[in-house]
Structure 1
Amino acid sequence: MIRINRRILAQGALALALAATGFAAAADTLKDIQARKKLLVAIDLSVPPFGMTDAAMQPQGSDVDVARALAKDMGVEMEIVQVSGPNRIPFLMTNKADIVISSFSVTPERAKVVLFSAPYSVNQLVVGAPKGVAIAKMDDLVGKRIAVVRGNLQDLELTKSAPKGATLVRYEDDATANTALIAGQVDAIATPSTTVQTLASRNPAKNLEIKFVVKVQPLAIGMRKSEVELAKWINGWVEKNAANGELNKIYSKWMGLQLPDMKKLADEARAIAL
Protein backbone atom coordinates (compact mmCIF):
# COMPACT_ATOMS: atom_id res chain seq x y z
CA MET A 1 0.00 0.00 0.00
CA ILE A 2 1.39 3.41 -0.95
CA ARG A 3 -0.06 6.66 0.34
CA ILE A 4 -0.33 9.74 -1.81
CA ASN A 5 2.84 11.86 -1.95
CA ARG A 6 1.95 15.08 -3.71
CA ARG A 7 5.59 16.01 -4.31
CA ILE A 8 6.33 12.90 -6.38
CA LEU A 9 4.34 11.98 -9.50
CA ALA A 10 4.26 8.35 -10.47
CA GLN A 11 6.15 8.63 -13.74
CA GLY A 12 8.61 5.75 -13.59
CA ALA A 13 7.67 4.44 -17.01
CA LEU A 14 7.92 7.89 -18.54
CA ALA A 15 11.36 8.42 -17.00
CA LEU A 16 12.50 5.11 -18.46
CA ALA A 17 11.16 6.15 -21.84
CA LEU A 18 13.06 9.44 -21.69
CA ALA A 19 16.24 7.52 -20.99
CA ALA A 20 15.51 5.15 -23.85
CA THR A 21 15.08 7.86 -26.46
CA GLY A 22 18.81 7.94 -26.95
CA PHE A 23 18.62 4.43 -28.42
CA ALA A 24 15.83 5.22 -30.89
CA ALA A 25 17.80 6.25 -33.94
CA ALA A 26 16.09 8.03 -36.77
CA ALA A 27 14.67 5.53 -39.22
CA ASP A 28 11.88 5.05 -41.70
CA THR A 29 9.76 2.54 -39.84
CA LEU A 30 7.03 2.70 -42.47
CA LYS A 31 9.42 1.27 -45.07
CA ASP A 32 10.67 -1.30 -42.57
CA ILE A 33 7.11 -2.46 -41.86
CA GLN A 34 6.29 -2.73 -45.55
CA ALA A 35 9.53 -4.60 -46.26
CA ARG A 36 9.01 -7.18 -43.52
CA LYS A 37 5.25 -7.28 -44.30
CA LYS A 38 4.39 -7.20 -40.62
CA LEU A 39 3.21 -4.47 -38.22
CA LEU A 40 4.17 -4.89 -34.56
CA VAL A 41 1.44 -3.33 -32.45
CA ALA A 42 1.72 -2.90 -28.67
CA ILE A 43 -1.66 -3.73 -27.09
CA ASP A 44 -2.62 -4.36 -23.48
CA LEU A 45 -4.95 -7.39 -23.50
CA SER A 46 -6.05 -6.87 -19.90
CA VAL A 47 -8.21 -3.77 -20.47
CA PRO A 48 -11.63 -4.88 -21.77
CA PRO A 49 -13.26 -3.98 -24.04
CA PHE A 50 -10.23 -2.21 -25.55
CA GLY A 51 -8.06 -5.31 -25.37
CA MET A 52 -8.78 -8.79 -24.01
CA THR A 53 -8.89 -12.47 -24.97
CA ASP A 54 -11.89 -14.66 -25.72
CA ALA A 55 -12.65 -18.16 -24.41
CA ALA A 56 -10.15 -19.59 -26.88
CA MET A 57 -7.49 -17.12 -25.66
CA GLN A 58 -7.62 -15.21 -28.94
CA PRO A 59 -7.16 -11.42 -28.80
CA GLN A 60 -10.20 -9.25 -29.28
CA GLY A 61 -11.50 -5.80 -28.43
CA SER A 62 -11.79 -2.36 -29.98
CA ASP A 63 -8.04 -1.68 -30.06
CA VAL A 64 -7.43 -5.10 -31.60
CA ASP A 65 -10.00 -4.36 -34.32
CA VAL A 66 -8.45 -0.95 -35.01
CA ALA A 67 -4.98 -2.51 -35.28
CA ARG A 68 -6.24 -5.23 -37.63
CA ALA A 69 -7.99 -2.69 -39.86
CA LEU A 70 -4.91 -0.47 -39.99
CA ALA A 71 -2.59 -3.36 -40.85
CA LYS A 72 -4.98 -4.62 -43.52
CA ASP A 73 -5.08 -1.22 -45.22
CA MET A 74 -1.29 -1.02 -44.96
CA GLY A 75 -1.12 -4.37 -46.77
CA VAL A 76 0.76 -6.21 -44.02
CA GLU A 77 0.14 -8.75 -41.29
CA MET A 78 -0.51 -7.59 -37.74
CA GLU A 79 1.39 -9.03 -34.78
CA ILE A 80 0.38 -8.09 -31.24
CA VAL A 81 3.14 -7.25 -28.81
CA GLN A 82 1.51 -7.73 -25.41
CA VAL A 83 2.19 -4.93 -22.96
CA SER A 84 0.91 -3.57 -19.66
CA GLY A 85 0.07 0.06 -19.01
CA PRO A 86 3.46 1.02 -17.55
CA ASN A 87 5.60 -0.58 -20.28
CA ARG A 88 3.81 0.68 -23.39
CA ILE A 89 6.24 3.56 -23.87
CA PRO A 90 9.42 1.61 -23.00
CA PHE A 91 8.45 -1.14 -25.49
CA LEU A 92 7.89 1.49 -28.19
CA MET A 93 11.13 3.35 -27.47
CA THR A 94 13.24 0.19 -27.46
CA ASN A 95 11.80 -0.89 -30.84
CA LYS A 96 9.96 -3.92 -29.50
CA ALA A 97 6.83 -2.46 -31.13
CA ASP A 98 6.32 -0.22 -34.17
CA ILE A 99 3.28 1.57 -32.75
CA VAL A 100 1.06 1.59 -29.67
CA ILE A 101 -2.71 1.10 -29.98
CA SER A 102 -3.64 0.45 -26.38
CA SER A 103 -6.23 2.82 -24.87
CA PHE A 104 -3.34 5.31 -25.03
CA SER A 105 -4.54 8.66 -23.70
CA VAL A 106 -2.93 11.85 -24.98
CA THR A 107 -1.21 13.64 -22.07
CA PRO A 108 1.37 16.45 -21.95
CA GLU A 109 3.84 14.14 -20.17
CA ARG A 110 3.62 11.43 -22.81
CA ALA A 111 3.75 13.96 -25.66
CA LYS A 112 7.28 14.86 -24.53
CA VAL A 113 8.55 11.49 -25.74
CA VAL A 114 5.79 10.06 -27.96
CA LEU A 115 4.47 11.25 -31.30
CA PHE A 116 0.68 10.94 -31.17
CA SER A 117 -1.59 10.45 -34.17
CA ALA A 118 -4.90 12.20 -34.54
CA PRO A 119 -7.37 10.64 -32.06
CA TYR A 120 -9.14 7.49 -33.17
CA SER A 121 -11.23 6.94 -30.02
CA VAL A 122 -12.00 8.32 -26.57
CA ASN A 123 -11.39 7.22 -23.00
CA GLN A 124 -13.60 8.24 -20.10
CA LEU A 125 -11.76 7.88 -16.81
CA VAL A 126 -14.06 7.27 -13.83
CA VAL A 127 -14.11 6.15 -10.24
CA GLY A 128 -16.12 2.95 -9.77
CA ALA A 129 -17.16 1.13 -6.62
CA PRO A 130 -19.97 -1.03 -5.18
CA LYS A 131 -23.32 0.75 -4.83
CA GLY A 132 -23.07 0.59 -1.05
CA VAL A 133 -19.86 2.65 -0.97
CA ALA A 134 -20.74 6.32 -0.41
CA ILE A 135 -18.83 8.10 -3.16
CA ALA A 136 -20.30 10.79 -5.38
CA LYS A 137 -17.44 13.24 -5.93
CA MET A 138 -13.68 13.58 -5.53
CA ASP A 139 -13.87 14.83 -1.91
CA ASP A 140 -15.69 11.62 -0.94
CA LEU A 141 -12.47 9.66 -1.47
CA VAL A 142 -11.21 10.78 1.94
CA GLY A 143 -10.66 7.66 4.03
CA LYS A 144 -11.05 5.41 0.97
CA ARG A 145 -8.53 3.12 -0.70
CA ILE A 146 -8.55 3.47 -4.49
CA ALA A 147 -6.88 1.03 -6.88
CA VAL A 148 -4.88 2.54 -9.76
CA VAL A 149 -2.34 1.19 -12.24
CA ARG A 150 1.09 2.60 -11.47
CA GLY A 151 2.08 5.37 -13.87
CA ASN A 152 -1.16 5.24 -15.88
CA LEU A 153 -3.48 8.19 -16.47
CA GLN A 154 -5.62 7.34 -13.44
CA ASP A 155 -2.54 7.34 -11.21
CA LEU A 156 -1.37 10.71 -12.52
CA GLU A 157 -4.81 12.32 -12.33
CA LEU A 158 -5.64 11.13 -8.82
CA THR A 159 -2.15 11.91 -7.56
CA LYS A 160 -2.85 15.51 -8.59
CA SER A 161 -6.49 15.83 -7.56
CA ALA A 162 -7.42 13.30 -4.86
CA PRO A 163 -7.98 14.88 -1.44
CA LYS A 164 -5.64 14.49 1.50
CA GLY A 165 -6.67 11.36 3.38
CA ALA A 166 -7.36 9.31 0.25
CA THR A 167 -5.03 6.36 -0.29
CA LEU A 168 -3.95 5.29 -3.76
CA VAL A 169 -3.10 1.59 -3.92
CA ARG A 170 -0.86 1.14 -6.94
CA TYR A 171 -0.77 -2.07 -8.99
CA GLU A 172 1.44 -3.05 -11.88
CA ASP A 173 -1.37 -3.78 -14.37
CA ASP A 174 -5.11 -3.46 -14.89
CA ALA A 175 -5.85 -7.13 -14.28
CA THR A 176 -4.37 -6.99 -10.78
CA ALA A 177 -6.13 -3.73 -9.96
CA ASN A 178 -9.45 -5.17 -11.15
CA THR A 179 -8.95 -8.29 -9.03
CA ALA A 180 -8.22 -6.16 -5.97
CA LEU A 181 -11.58 -4.39 -6.35
CA ILE A 182 -13.53 -7.63 -6.82
CA ALA A 183 -11.75 -9.21 -3.84
CA GLY A 184 -12.61 -6.26 -1.61
CA GLN A 185 -8.98 -5.29 -1.04
CA VAL A 186 -9.80 -1.69 -2.01
CA ASP A 187 -12.92 0.47 -1.71
CA ALA A 188 -12.92 1.79 -5.28
CA ILE A 189 -11.02 1.83 -8.54
CA ALA A 190 -10.02 4.59 -10.95
CA THR A 191 -10.21 3.16 -14.46
CA PRO A 192 -11.90 3.63 -17.86
CA SER A 193 -15.71 3.59 -17.71
CA THR A 194 -15.79 0.54 -19.96
CA THR A 195 -13.76 -1.44 -17.45
CA VAL A 196 -16.28 -0.71 -14.68
CA GLN A 197 -19.10 -1.76 -17.01
CA THR A 198 -17.33 -4.99 -17.90
CA LEU A 199 -16.50 -5.81 -14.26
CA ALA A 200 -20.10 -5.08 -13.28
CA SER A 201 -21.50 -7.43 -15.92
CA ARG A 202 -19.07 -10.22 -15.02
CA ASN A 203 -19.57 -9.83 -11.25
CA PRO A 204 -23.24 -8.94 -10.72
CA ALA A 205 -23.15 -9.81 -7.03
CA LYS A 206 -20.68 -6.97 -6.41
CA ASN A 207 -23.21 -4.30 -7.54
CA LEU A 208 -20.51 -2.18 -9.13
CA GLU A 209 -21.34 1.21 -10.61
CA ILE A 210 -19.68 4.36 -11.92
CA LYS A 211 -19.52 6.97 -9.16
CA PHE A 212 -18.22 10.00 -11.03
CA VAL A 213 -16.18 11.00 -14.09
CA VAL A 214 -12.62 12.09 -13.42
CA LYS A 215 -11.55 12.99 -16.95
CA VAL A 216 -12.41 12.49 -20.61
CA GLN A 217 -9.36 11.94 -22.80
CA PRO A 218 -8.80 11.40 -26.53
CA LEU A 219 -7.06 8.15 -27.43
CA ALA A 220 -4.37 8.17 -30.10
CA ILE A 221 -1.84 5.88 -31.76
CA GLY A 222 1.64 6.28 -30.31
CA MET A 223 4.81 6.41 -32.41
CA ARG A 224 8.43 7.38 -31.91
CA LYS A 225 9.16 11.08 -32.42
CA SER A 226 11.38 10.43 -35.45
CA GLU A 227 8.67 8.60 -37.43
CA VAL A 228 7.49 11.46 -39.65
CA GLU A 229 6.52 9.33 -42.65
CA LEU A 230 4.74 6.73 -40.54
CA ALA A 231 2.85 9.51 -38.77
CA LYS A 232 1.72 10.97 -42.10
CA TRP A 233 0.39 7.60 -43.23
CA ILE A 234 -1.37 6.85 -39.95
CA ASN A 235 -2.90 10.31 -39.65
CA GLY A 236 -4.25 9.99 -43.17
CA TRP A 237 -5.69 6.59 -42.28
CA VAL A 238 -7.33 7.91 -39.10
CA GLU A 239 -8.82 10.90 -40.93
CA LYS A 240 -10.22 8.70 -43.69
CA ASN A 241 -11.73 6.12 -41.34
CA ALA A 242 -13.16 8.75 -39.03
CA ALA A 243 -14.88 10.35 -42.02
CA ASN A 244 -16.24 7.12 -43.50
CA GLY A 245 -17.55 5.84 -40.16
CA GLU A 246 -15.30 2.79 -39.82
CA LEU A 247 -13.77 3.94 -36.53
CA ASN A 248 -17.21 4.71 -35.15
CA LYS A 249 -18.40 1.26 -36.24
CA ILE A 250 -15.62 -0.37 -34.23
CA TYR A 251 -16.21 1.88 -31.22
CA SER A 252 -19.97 1.36 -31.13
CA LYS A 253 -19.54 -2.42 -31.56
CA TRP A 254 -17.57 -2.66 -28.32
CA MET A 255 -18.79 0.33 -26.31
CA GLY A 256 -22.45 0.53 -27.25
CA LEU A 257 -21.96 4.27 -27.79
CA GLN A 258 -21.17 6.62 -30.66
CA LEU A 259 -17.88 8.45 -31.00
CA PRO A 260 -18.01 12.20 -30.29
CA ASP A 261 -17.10 14.86 -32.86
CA MET A 262 -13.68 13.65 -34.03
CA LYS A 263 -12.59 17.06 -35.34
CA LYS A 264 -13.27 18.60 -31.94
CA LEU A 265 -11.47 15.68 -30.34
CA ALA A 266 -8.44 16.34 -32.58
CA ASP A 267 -8.37 19.99 -31.49
CA GLU A 268 -8.49 18.92 -27.83
CA ALA A 269 -5.66 16.44 -28.38
CA ARG A 270 -3.46 19.08 -30.04
CA ALA A 271 -4.06 21.45 -27.12
CA ILE A 272 -3.18 18.73 -24.58
CA ALA A 273 0.00 17.78 -26.41
CA LEU A 274 1.35 21.33 -26.64
Structure 2
Amino acid sequence: MNHRTALLVAIVIAAAPALAQETGTLKKVKDNGSITLGIRESSYPLSYLDDKQQPVGYHIDVCNRIVDAVKAQLKLPALKLQHQAVTSQNRIPLVANGTVDLECGSTTNNEARQKQVAFAPTTFVTNVRMAVKKASGITGLAQLGGKPVATTTGTTSVQLMRAHEKGKGIDFKEVYGKDHADAFLMLETDRAVAFVMDDNLLAGLIVSSKSPADYAIVGEVLNVEPIAIMLRRDDPAFKKLVDAAVIGLMKSGELDKLYTRWFLSPIPPKNVSMNFPMSEQLKKLIKAPSDAPAESFNKK
Protein backbone atom coordinates (compact mmCIF):
# COMPACT_ATOMS: atom_id res chain seq x y z
CA MET A 1 0.00 0.00 0.00
CA ASN A 2 1.54 3.32 -1.03
CA HIS A 3 1.44 6.53 1.04
CA ARG A 4 -1.39 8.09 -0.98
CA THR A 5 -3.65 5.04 -0.67
CA ALA A 6 -2.83 4.72 3.03
CA LEU A 7 -3.85 8.34 3.57
CA LEU A 8 -7.18 7.82 1.79
CA VAL A 9 -7.85 4.65 3.80
CA ALA A 10 -7.22 6.62 7.00
CA ILE A 11 -9.67 9.29 5.85
CA VAL A 12 -12.35 6.71 5.07
CA ILE A 13 -11.84 4.94 8.41
CA ALA A 14 -12.22 8.26 10.22
CA ALA A 15 -15.55 8.76 8.47
CA ALA A 16 -16.62 5.13 9.01
CA PRO A 17 -19.44 5.66 11.55
CA ALA A 18 -21.41 7.72 9.07
CA LEU A 19 -20.63 5.30 6.24
CA ALA A 20 -21.37 2.03 8.02
CA GLN A 21 -24.57 1.44 6.08
CA GLU A 22 -23.88 1.27 2.37
CA THR A 23 -26.75 2.95 0.58
CA GLY A 24 -27.32 4.94 -2.58
CA THR A 25 -24.27 5.16 -4.83
CA LEU A 26 -22.08 3.03 -2.56
CA LYS A 27 -24.60 0.19 -2.65
CA LYS A 28 -25.01 0.56 -6.43
CA VAL A 29 -21.25 0.48 -6.96
CA LYS A 30 -20.81 -2.53 -4.67
CA ASP A 31 -23.67 -4.46 -6.29
CA ASN A 32 -22.39 -3.73 -9.81
CA GLY A 33 -18.71 -4.19 -9.00
CA SER A 34 -17.97 -1.04 -10.98
CA ILE A 35 -17.96 2.74 -10.77
CA THR A 36 -18.53 5.08 -13.72
CA LEU A 37 -16.75 8.39 -14.20
CA GLY A 38 -18.25 11.01 -16.49
CA ILE A 39 -15.41 12.50 -18.53
CA ARG A 40 -15.10 15.41 -20.95
CA GLU A 41 -13.30 15.05 -24.26
CA SER A 42 -11.94 18.61 -24.61
CA SER A 43 -12.04 20.38 -21.22
CA TYR A 44 -8.30 21.14 -21.08
CA PRO A 45 -6.57 20.47 -18.74
CA LEU A 46 -9.31 19.33 -16.36
CA SER A 47 -10.64 16.41 -18.38
CA TYR A 48 -9.79 15.57 -22.00
CA LEU A 49 -8.59 12.81 -24.30
CA ASP A 50 -4.89 12.34 -24.96
CA ASP A 51 -3.37 11.20 -28.26
CA LYS A 52 -4.30 7.60 -27.36
CA GLN A 53 -7.91 8.66 -26.76
CA GLN A 54 -7.59 8.00 -23.04
CA PRO A 55 -9.15 10.39 -20.48
CA VAL A 56 -6.52 12.45 -18.68
CA GLY A 57 -6.40 15.69 -16.71
CA TYR A 58 -6.47 17.38 -13.33
CA HIS A 59 -10.03 16.34 -12.46
CA ILE A 60 -9.49 12.83 -13.82
CA ASP A 61 -6.66 12.49 -11.31
CA VAL A 62 -8.84 13.89 -8.51
CA CYS A 63 -11.60 11.41 -9.38
CA ASN A 64 -9.11 8.53 -9.47
CA ARG A 65 -8.13 9.42 -5.89
CA ILE A 66 -11.82 9.39 -4.92
CA VAL A 67 -12.14 5.94 -6.53
CA ASP A 68 -9.22 4.78 -4.33
CA ALA A 69 -11.27 5.88 -1.30
CA VAL A 70 -14.35 4.01 -2.59
CA LYS A 71 -12.28 0.85 -3.08
CA ALA A 72 -10.97 1.15 0.48
CA GLN A 73 -14.41 1.77 2.00
CA LEU A 74 -16.06 -1.11 0.12
CA LYS A 75 -13.00 -3.40 0.45
CA LEU A 76 -13.09 -3.90 -3.31
CA PRO A 77 -9.51 -3.45 -4.59
CA ALA A 78 -10.51 -4.91 -7.96
CA LEU A 79 -13.44 -2.49 -8.43
CA LYS A 80 -13.90 -1.95 -12.18
CA LEU A 81 -13.46 1.62 -13.41
CA GLN A 82 -15.56 2.72 -16.38
CA HIS A 83 -15.62 5.98 -18.34
CA GLN A 84 -18.61 7.64 -19.98
CA ALA A 85 -18.14 10.68 -22.21
CA VAL A 86 -20.52 13.51 -21.27
CA THR A 87 -21.23 16.95 -22.72
CA SER A 88 -22.28 20.28 -21.23
CA GLN A 89 -25.83 19.43 -22.31
CA ASN A 90 -26.21 15.91 -20.87
CA ARG A 91 -23.82 15.84 -17.89
CA ILE A 92 -26.41 16.74 -15.23
CA PRO A 93 -29.11 14.29 -16.42
CA LEU A 94 -26.55 11.47 -16.63
CA VAL A 95 -25.45 12.08 -13.04
CA ALA A 96 -29.02 12.47 -11.78
CA ASN A 97 -30.29 9.27 -13.45
CA GLY A 98 -27.40 7.11 -12.21
CA THR A 99 -25.61 6.55 -15.51
CA VAL A 100 -22.55 8.40 -14.16
CA ASP A 101 -21.44 8.17 -10.52
CA LEU A 102 -18.87 11.01 -10.54
CA GLU A 103 -18.64 13.73 -13.18
CA CYS A 104 -14.98 14.64 -13.54
CA GLY A 105 -15.11 17.59 -15.89
CA SER A 106 -15.43 21.36 -15.81
CA THR A 107 -18.81 21.94 -14.19
CA THR A 108 -19.60 25.16 -12.34
CA ASN A 109 -21.25 24.72 -8.96
CA ASN A 110 -24.23 27.11 -8.91
CA GLU A 111 -27.55 27.36 -7.08
CA ALA A 112 -29.65 26.15 -10.02
CA ARG A 113 -27.55 23.02 -10.44
CA GLN A 114 -27.53 22.31 -6.70
CA LYS A 115 -31.28 21.71 -7.04
CA GLN A 116 -30.48 18.74 -9.30
CA VAL A 117 -27.07 17.43 -8.21
CA ALA A 118 -24.46 17.74 -5.46
CA PHE A 119 -20.87 18.95 -5.63
CA ALA A 120 -17.62 18.04 -3.91
CA PRO A 121 -15.55 20.85 -2.38
CA THR A 122 -14.29 23.25 -5.05
CA THR A 123 -11.04 22.10 -6.66
CA PHE A 124 -10.70 24.80 -9.33
CA VAL A 125 -11.75 28.42 -9.77
CA THR A 126 -12.13 29.98 -13.19
CA ASN A 127 -12.87 33.39 -14.71
CA VAL A 128 -15.28 33.51 -17.63
CA ARG A 129 -13.73 35.60 -20.44
CA MET A 130 -13.36 35.32 -24.22
CA ALA A 131 -10.77 34.08 -26.68
CA VAL A 132 -10.26 36.02 -29.92
CA LYS A 133 -7.83 36.11 -32.78
CA LYS A 134 -5.30 38.83 -32.08
CA ALA A 135 -5.69 40.13 -35.63
CA SER A 136 -9.36 40.98 -34.94
CA GLY A 137 -8.38 43.80 -32.58
CA ILE A 138 -11.26 42.83 -30.25
CA THR A 139 -10.55 43.56 -26.59
CA GLY A 140 -13.99 43.74 -24.96
CA LEU A 141 -17.74 43.12 -25.11
CA ALA A 142 -18.50 46.52 -26.65
CA GLN A 143 -16.85 45.43 -29.92
CA LEU A 144 -19.09 42.39 -30.45
CA GLY A 145 -22.18 44.17 -31.79
CA GLY A 146 -23.60 42.43 -34.85
CA LYS A 147 -20.92 39.74 -34.78
CA PRO A 148 -21.11 35.95 -34.23
CA VAL A 149 -19.94 34.84 -30.80
CA ALA A 150 -19.37 31.15 -30.05
CA THR A 151 -20.08 29.25 -26.87
CA THR A 152 -20.76 25.64 -25.95
CA THR A 153 -24.29 24.22 -25.85
CA GLY A 154 -25.45 23.68 -22.26
CA THR A 155 -23.19 26.31 -20.65
CA THR A 156 -24.09 29.64 -19.06
CA SER A 157 -21.67 31.87 -20.99
CA VAL A 158 -24.19 33.73 -23.17
CA GLN A 159 -26.43 34.49 -20.18
CA LEU A 160 -23.40 35.90 -18.36
CA MET A 161 -22.55 38.11 -21.34
CA ARG A 162 -26.06 39.50 -21.54
CA ALA A 163 -26.21 40.04 -17.77
CA HIS A 164 -22.92 41.95 -17.64
CA GLU A 165 -23.38 45.73 -17.52
CA LYS A 166 -21.11 46.18 -20.56
CA GLY A 167 -22.93 43.44 -22.47
CA LYS A 168 -26.44 44.87 -22.08
CA GLY A 169 -27.83 46.23 -25.32
CA ILE A 170 -25.11 44.67 -27.49
CA ASP A 171 -26.68 42.73 -30.33
CA PHE A 172 -24.33 39.82 -30.99
CA LYS A 173 -25.24 36.60 -32.76
CA GLU A 174 -25.00 33.40 -30.71
CA VAL A 175 -23.47 30.33 -32.38
CA TYR A 176 -23.13 27.07 -30.49
CA GLY A 177 -20.59 24.24 -30.57
CA LYS A 178 -21.58 20.78 -29.44
CA ASP A 179 -18.50 20.73 -27.18
CA HIS A 180 -15.60 23.04 -26.35
CA ALA A 181 -13.44 21.81 -29.23
CA ASP A 182 -16.27 22.42 -31.69
CA ALA A 183 -16.87 25.93 -30.35
CA PHE A 184 -13.16 26.75 -30.59
CA LEU A 185 -13.17 25.47 -34.18
CA MET A 186 -15.79 28.13 -34.97
CA LEU A 187 -13.30 30.78 -33.83
CA GLU A 188 -10.45 29.06 -35.64
CA THR A 189 -12.37 28.97 -38.95
CA ASP A 190 -13.75 32.52 -38.59
CA ARG A 191 -17.36 31.44 -38.13
CA ALA A 192 -17.18 33.38 -34.85
CA VAL A 193 -15.09 36.37 -33.77
CA ALA A 194 -14.95 35.29 -30.13
CA PHE A 195 -15.41 32.19 -27.98
CA VAL A 196 -16.73 32.88 -24.47
CA MET A 197 -15.83 30.28 -21.85
CA ASP A 198 -13.83 29.54 -18.70
CA ASP A 199 -10.36 31.04 -19.08
CA ASN A 200 -8.54 27.79 -18.25
CA LEU A 201 -10.45 25.93 -20.98
CA LEU A 202 -9.67 28.71 -23.44
CA ALA A 203 -5.99 28.59 -22.48
CA GLY A 204 -5.89 24.82 -22.95
CA LEU A 205 -7.56 24.97 -26.35
CA ILE A 206 -5.22 27.74 -27.49
CA VAL A 207 -2.10 25.85 -26.38
CA SER A 208 -3.35 22.75 -28.20
CA SER A 209 -4.29 24.63 -31.40
CA LYS A 210 -2.40 24.74 -34.70
CA SER A 211 -1.24 28.34 -34.16
CA PRO A 212 -1.28 29.29 -30.44
CA ALA A 213 0.37 32.67 -31.08
CA ASP A 214 -2.66 33.79 -33.14
CA TYR A 215 -5.00 33.94 -30.11
CA ALA A 216 -5.47 35.97 -26.95
CA ILE A 217 -7.78 35.79 -23.92
CA VAL A 218 -9.31 39.23 -23.50
CA GLY A 219 -12.21 41.25 -22.17
CA GLU A 220 -14.09 41.72 -18.96
CA VAL A 221 -14.36 38.95 -16.36
CA LEU A 222 -18.00 37.91 -16.72
CA ASN A 223 -18.07 35.69 -13.66
CA VAL A 224 -15.81 33.98 -11.14
CA GLU A 225 -16.90 30.34 -10.95
CA PRO A 226 -16.10 27.47 -8.58
CA ILE A 227 -15.56 24.22 -10.49
CA ALA A 228 -16.02 20.88 -8.74
CA ILE A 229 -16.61 17.16 -9.10
CA MET A 230 -20.33 16.47 -9.47
CA LEU A 231 -22.32 13.63 -7.86
CA ARG A 232 -25.92 12.71 -7.13
CA ARG A 233 -28.03 14.65 -4.65
CA ASP A 234 -29.53 13.24 -1.46
CA ASP A 235 -26.79 10.64 -1.01
CA PRO A 236 -25.13 11.72 2.27
CA ALA A 237 -22.94 8.62 2.71
CA PHE A 238 -21.36 8.96 -0.73
CA LYS A 239 -20.98 12.72 -0.42
CA LYS A 240 -19.27 12.32 2.94
CA LEU A 241 -16.77 9.89 1.41
CA VAL A 242 -16.16 12.12 -1.63
CA ASP A 243 -15.74 15.24 0.51
CA ALA A 244 -13.35 13.44 2.87
CA ALA A 245 -11.22 12.21 -0.04
CA VAL A 246 -11.02 15.66 -1.66
CA ILE A 247 -10.27 17.44 1.62
CA GLY A 248 -7.62 14.79 2.31
CA LEU A 249 -5.92 15.69 -0.97
CA MET A 250 -5.99 19.35 0.05
CA LYS A 251 -4.59 18.80 3.54
CA SER A 252 -1.84 16.42 2.38
CA GLY A 253 -0.57 18.78 -0.32
CA GLU A 254 -1.42 16.25 -3.03
CA LEU A 255 -3.86 18.62 -4.73
CA ASP A 256 -1.11 21.24 -5.08
CA LYS A 257 1.06 18.61 -6.78
CA LEU A 258 -1.75 17.68 -9.17
CA TYR A 259 -2.26 21.35 -9.99
CA THR A 260 1.44 21.78 -10.76
CA ARG A 261 1.38 18.68 -12.97
CA TRP A 262 -1.53 19.85 -15.13
CA PHE A 263 -1.31 23.65 -15.13
CA LEU A 264 2.40 24.41 -14.74
CA SER A 265 4.14 21.48 -16.45
CA PRO A 266 4.22 20.08 -20.02
CA ILE A 267 1.08 18.05 -20.72
CA PRO A 268 -0.10 15.86 -23.60
CA PRO A 269 -0.74 15.81 -26.47
CA LYS A 270 1.74 18.54 -27.49
CA ASN A 271 3.89 18.32 -24.35
CA VAL A 272 3.62 22.06 -23.70
CA SER A 273 2.77 23.88 -20.47
CA MET A 274 -0.25 26.15 -19.99
CA ASN A 275 1.73 28.24 -17.46
CA PHE A 276 -1.50 28.90 -15.56
CA PRO A 277 -0.65 29.79 -11.93
CA MET A 278 -3.06 28.88 -9.14
CA SER A 279 -5.48 31.70 -8.33
CA GLU A 280 -5.61 33.32 -4.92
CA GLN A 281 -9.25 32.18 -4.66
CA LEU A 282 -8.28 28.53 -5.05
CA LYS A 283 -5.42 28.88 -2.55
CA LYS A 284 -7.96 30.14 0.00
CA LEU A 285 -10.37 27.29 -0.77
CA ILE A 286 -7.65 24.70 -0.28
CA LYS A 287 -7.04 26.12 3.20
CA ALA A 288 -10.78 26.36 3.94
CA PRO A 289 -12.63 23.81 1.72
CA SER A 290 -16.14 24.72 0.59
CA ASP A 291 -18.89 23.46 -1.71
CA ALA A 292 -20.62 26.87 -1.79
CA PRO A 293 -22.17 27.83 -5.15
CA ALA A 294 -20.99 30.56 -7.52
CA GLU A 295 -23.66 33.00 -6.33
CA SER A 296 -22.18 33.24 -2.83
CA PHE A 297 -18.72 33.34 -4.35
CA ASN A 298 -19.55 36.41 -6.45
CA LYS A 299 -21.12 38.39 -3.58
CA LYS A 300 -17.63 39.35 -2.43
Q: Are the structure 2 counterparts of residues 200 and 267 from structure 1 closer, same or farther at C-alpha, using a change threshold of 3 Å?
A: closer
Q: Are the structure 2 counterparts of residues 270 and 31 from structure 1 closer, same or farther at C-alpha, using a change threshold of 3 Å?
A: farther
**Pairwise CA RMSD:** 2.4
> For 1:51-102, what per-residue CA distance to the aligned partner results, in whole angstroms no more than 9, with x for missing partners?
2222222221112111212112322443211101110001112211112121
1:158 to 2:182 alignment: no
Task: Pick one of 41, 44, 49 that aligns with 2:45.
Answer: 49
Task: Pick one of 200, 203, 215 that aligns with 1:208.
Answer: 215
1:181 to 2:205 alignment: no
Query: How many residues end up aligned between the 2 structures?
Result: 248
Structure 2 alignment gaps of length 5 or more = 1-22, 72-78, 265-276
CA distance in 2, matches of 1:269, 1:251: 21
Structure 1 alignment gaps of length 5 or more = 1-26
Give the equivalent residue in structure 1 for 2:240: 232
Query: Which of structures 1 and 2 has the bigger CA Rg?
Result: 2
Tell me the TM-score normalised to structure 2 length: 0.75
Give the match's secondary structure for 1:41.
strand
Give the match's secondary structure for 2:224.
strand
Give the equivalent residue in structure 1 for 2:290: 266
> Which amino acid in the other structure matches residue 120 of structure 1?
T
CA distance in 2, matches of 1:149, 1:55: 23
Task: Pick one of 188, 197, 202 that aligns with 2:203.
Answer: 197
> Which amino acid in the other structure matches residue 193 of structure 1?
D
Give the match's secondary structure for 1:49.
coil
Give the equivalent residue in structure 1 for 2:260: 252
Give 1:112 deviation, angstroms. Answer: 1.6
Give the equivalent residue in structure 1 for 2:119: 116
- How does 1:59-138 map onto structure 2 within 5 Å? 59-75=55-71, 76-138=79-141
Give the match's secondary structure for 1:184.
coil
Q: Are the structure 2 counterparts of residues 168 and 33 from structure 1 closer, same or farther at C-alpha, using a change threshold of 3 Å?
A: same
Give the match's secondary structure for 2:239.
helix
> For 1:173-231, what per-residue CA distance to the aligned partner results, in whole angstroms no more than 9, with x for missing partners?
21211111111110000122223223333222661010033222111222222211111
Give 1:236 deviation, angstroms. Answer: 1.1
Cα contact 1:45–1:52 (8 A) shared by 2: yes
Q: Are the structure 2 counterparts of residues 230 and 46 from structure 1 closer, same or farther at C-alpha, using a change threshold of 3 Å?
A: same
Q: Are the structure 2 counterparts of residues 267 and 66 from structure 1 closer, same or farther at C-alpha, using a change threshold of 3 Å?
A: closer
Q: Are the structure 2 counterparts of residues 83 and 267 from structure 1 closer, same or farther at C-alpha, using a change threshold of 3 Å?
A: closer
Task: Pick one of 29, 32, 39 that aligns with 1:33.
Answer: 29
Cα contact 1:92–1:98 (8 A) shared by 2: yes
Give 1:269 deviation, angstroms. Answer: 3.3
CA distance in 1, matches of 2:138, 2:289: 29
CA distance in 2, matches of 1:141, 1:265: 38
Cα contact 2:187–2:193 (8 A) shared by 1: yes
Tell me the TM-score normalised to structure 1 length: 0.81
